[in-house]
Amino acid sequence: MSKKWWSAGSAVTLAGGLLAGCGGTGDDVNPAADTASNGQASASEQTQAGGGQPASKVKIVFGQGADQTDGTKKLVEAFEAKHPEIDVDVREFPNDSTQMHDQLVTILGGKSPELDVVNLDVVWPAEFAQAGFLLPLDRYIQNDGLDLSQYLEGGVNAGNYNGQQWALPRYNNSGLLYYRTDLVKEVPKTWDELLKQAEELKGKGGTQYGYVSQGKQYEGLTVGFTELVGAYGGTILDENGRSAVNSPEALKGLKKLIEIYTSPAVPSNINTFTEKETLNAFIEGRAVFARHWPALYAQANDPSKSKVVGKVGIAPLPAGDARSAAALGGWLGAISKYSEHPKEAWEFLKFLVSEEGEKIIAVNSTQTPTYLKLFDDAEVQQASPLFASRDFVNGLKSAVPRAITPDYAKISGLIQVEVSKAIAGQQTPEQALANLEKQIDQNAAK
């Protein structure tokens, strides 16, 4: 009896396996094999398009980091209302931008058509364009008469490489200093003041940390490094893409960065902090100061998540002895070269950067628009006090861009390794910069 059962079971499995292995279809002996062979590639379309008009609708996929606000949802709804013939699916990526980069590169490097429109970090367009992953947009911009002078210049430039426009700016960011208005009397103007106050105020008002920022070995560390180096008057690359990092100014910046990250005012595990941990620490009321992007503001004032509603202040980042330098962050929209629906993708991209599209994101997700007129819009101004502040908008215009180079990912990786080693005390700051310079130039020479 039991033997029979065994053999019948395995015979079915074998048959199912064979059929599926040969790409056979429509065999109902084995339900598992059946679903499996139908499940290839087209299954998602079948399941997801189910219920709508079957034939004429085109589905495009928009890839971006996970959005915990309603912004993206509303944006897609607004677009679909206007273009009933296009369905937009949002594919979420990790928000750790290094991870998102690696995944995107694996997808696009494999020439996969699975993405149509992609959100790119401000530092990626050069690399992606050089790699041939993106559709050049010039033809379409010209045909549809898009006026790029209406946009924040830094953002437009970030999408331009080798004279062609590969991506359009959706929202721009610059680093900001967040502080607790109930604890901080006088907003620190320099990094030294910040450090002093952070050490003094740590522990007051239920806090555990004086200052939190992004210290993990990932893109955030490159941003922090760029800001400190900029604040003390240094730069990372010169105009020709050669290293300029081994300079006294950059050394001052790096030393200050190390001083901050090894101070008792920051969490002892600051080197695991990304934007997530920073945000958590701040909205749970555990930190006095935090360095973050404009998007923190909405979440810090959301009573369902935050314990510090109404006690959130924002200020420009502190200055070094040269200036206050906030790194230009932000995201651009672009079209994958491997998209099977570039026409629809362009419609969607155009909507993303339109006045209407950027407004939805500005109002719902407090992301800073790049379409300049929006800063005069009453609703936008209401969404965040930042958007109403001339200083902020001007600051954005002067934010330091990170190096525009197709080798950005590589160079940023080198910075992350050398700087985190220096913070960990495994090498002196001088050694870190010397190593960095050597490696950047070696890489450029290749």
| Ranges within 240-259 binding other proteins (CB under 8 A) | none
Q: Which is nearer to other proteins, 14 or 309 (CB)?
A: 14
At 132 the three-state DSSP class reads: coil
Please tell me whether residue 33 binds other proteins under the rule CB under 8 A.
yes
Give the N- to C-terminal CA distance of the chain in Å, as an integer: 70
Q: Cβ(172)–Cβ(370) under 8 Å?
A: yes
Q: Which is nearer to other proteins, 16 or 210 (CB)?
A: 16
Q: Which is nearer to other proteins, 321 or 441 (CB)?
A: 441
Q: Which is nearer to other proteins, 68 or 389 (CB)?
A: 68
Please tell me whether residue 40 binds other proteins under the rule CB under 8 A.
yes
Cα 229 to Cα 237, 277, 420: the distances in Å are 11, 24, 15
Please tell me whether residue 125 binds other proteins under the rule CB under 8 A.
no
Closest contact distance (angstroms) between CB of 219 and other proteins is 12
Which residue stretch of 117-125, 187-195, 241-249, 332-340 sits at the interface with other proteins (rule: CB under 8 A)?
A: 332-340
Please tell me whether residue 367 binds other proteins under the rule CB under 8 A.
no
Which residues, numbered 396-425, are part of the site for other proteins (CB under 8 A)?
406, 409-410, 413, 417, 420-421, 424
Radius of gyration from C-alpha coordinates of the chain: 25
Please tell me whether residue 216 binds other proteins under the rule CB under 8 A.
yes
Which residue stretch of 19-27, 74-82, 190-198, 251-259 sits at the interface with other proteins (rule: CB under 8 A)?
A: 19-27
Please tell me whether residue 29 binds other proteins under the rule CB under 8 A.
no
Binding residues with other proteins: total (CB under 8 A): 88
Closest contact distance (angstroms) between CB of 417 and other proteins is 5
Instruction: Determine the Cα–Cα distance for residues 341 and 290; give it in Å rounded to an integer.
Output: 42
Please tell me whether residue 374 binds other proteins under the rule CB under 8 A.
no
Cβ neighbors of 94 (< 8 A, separation 6 or more) are 65, 66, 100, 103
Tokens of 21: 């292995």
Cα 343 to Cα 25, 164, 167, 436: the distances in Å are 34, 19, 15, 43
Which residues, numbered 298-317, are part of the site for other proteins (CB under 8 A)?
299
Please tell me whether residue 162 binds other proteins under the rule CB under 8 A.
yes
Which residue stretch of 249-257, 279-287, 367-375, 395-403 sits at the interface with other proteins (rule: CB under 8 A)?
A: 279-287
Q: Cβ(374)–Cβ(150) under 8 Å?
A: no
Strands (E), 236-393: 287-292, 312-316, 328-335, 368-369
Closest contact distance (angstroms) between CB of 66 and other proteins is 5
Please tell me whether residue 142 binds other proteins under the rule CB under 8 A.
no
Instruction: Determine the Cα–Cα distance for residues 16 and 86; give it in Å rounded to an integer.
Output: 38
CA dihedral 188, 192, 194, 195 (to 10 degrees): -160
